[in-house]
Amino acid sequence: MKSPIGRYYPHETIIHKIDPRLKLIINIIYIVLTFIVNYFVSLAVLLVPLMIAFVIGSRKIYPLFRLMIMPLIIGFFILFVNIYTMKLKPDSDYTRIIPWGGHSEYALTLEALARTGALIIRIYIMIMVTSLLLITTKPILLTKALEDLMFPFKLLFIPTHIIAMIISIALRFIPTLFEEAQRIMKAQASRGVDFKNGKIKEKVKSFTTLIIPLFVTSFAKAEDLSNAMETRGYDPYAKRTRYRKLRIGWLDILFFILIVGLILFVAFSQSAKYDFLPFWYKFTYFKY
């Protein structure tokens, strides 16, 4: 099954028509804002519109569930870390749920669950907003957007067009590596390699049969891409012209106003000075 991360979906949706520079800026702001908020309701306010936009852009629902796999795996390990780092001391105000390991200072607490849940949602939002950018933006437009946003660095004689090309190629290699890893795993499994069962040492040894061929294949694909670009006359240091320039339209302005309103609401909700929120809002607070 193909991964939705990094793969462009050629649809004619509203999300596809938005200026790629605006989408890239919003992507960065969204990720920063996600790791600043400390209310679950604020995370929900950020998550729900993003999920709607993702469904509109991809015209599919199942990728939303596939993108949950990695955050849930990370959250599973982080939960154990929180259990063993958030010790129950006489002066602590943690809410005990289940004792852990027979020790009085280790327990599954409500605060540990809240931290883990918040981290899962944050990682999920980060993956989803990045995937939304990639599935709704053509590679060439993404390169142009990166180059335009890095324009100030040209004053320092930094080759921004080369950096933009490197970043866009790296992002587009993500689905290719996913597919290659799945292909290698199936090939090794047909040869008797077991990736699921056995002890940790045996699993590590099994995964070396995946990692080494994946590295070799990655370098081979990179060399093929380099040869193809050279064959087509690509010169990274040559002066480039543009057939089509990016322009801001009314749809971009409307989308920008909506996003600014969303950001202002989340920012205001983080401050105790504003009492326009319902009384139950404060109960969704979680500590870092």
Question: Does the pLDDT value for residue 1 go beyond 60?
Answer: no
State which amino acid sits at residue 219. Answer: F
C-alpha span between 61 and 181 (Å, rounded):
24
Average model confidence (pLDDT) across the chain: 80
C-alpha span between 7 and 176 (Å, rounded):
9
pLDDT digits (tens, 9 = 90+) for 108-125: 777 778 888 888 999 999
Q: Judging by beta carbons within 10 Å of its beta carbon (0-12, 13-18, 19+), is residue 221 exposed, middle or buried?
A: middle
Q: Are residues 29 and 119 in the same domain?
A: yes
Q: What is the pLDDT of residue 259?
A: 86
Distances in whole angstroms, Cα of residue 188 to Cα of each of 2, 6, 184, 212? 19, 25, 6, 12
What is the model's pTM?
0.77
Q: 86 lies in which domain range?
A: 1-137+248-288
pLDDT digits (tens, 9 = 90+) for 35-54: 888 888 888 888 999 999 99
pLDDT digits (tens, 9 = 90+) for 67-97: 888 899 888 888 888 777 766 665 566 666 6
* Domains identified in the chain, total number: 2
A 10 A CB-CB count for 285 gives: 12
Tell which residue, 172, 169, 180, has the closest CA to residue 215: 180
Asked whether residue 198 is domain-assigned, the answer is yes
Q: Are residues 232 and 278 in the same domain?
A: no
C-alpha span between 161 and 181 (Å, rounded):
30
Q: Are residues 254 and 288 in the same domain?
A: yes
Q: Are residues 74 and 5 in the same domain?
A: yes
Task: Name 163's Cβ contacts closer than 8 Å, sequence gap at least 6.
Answer: 146, 150
Q: Of all residues in the chain, what percent carry a pLDDT higher than 70?
A: 84
Tell which residue, 27, 117, 111, 28, has the closest CA to residue 72: 117
Q: Are residues 227 and 253 in the same domain?
A: no
Residue listed under structure tokens 């306010």: 45
Question: Does the pLDDT value for residue 273 go beyond 60?
Answer: no
Asked whether residue 128 is domain-assigned, the answer is yes
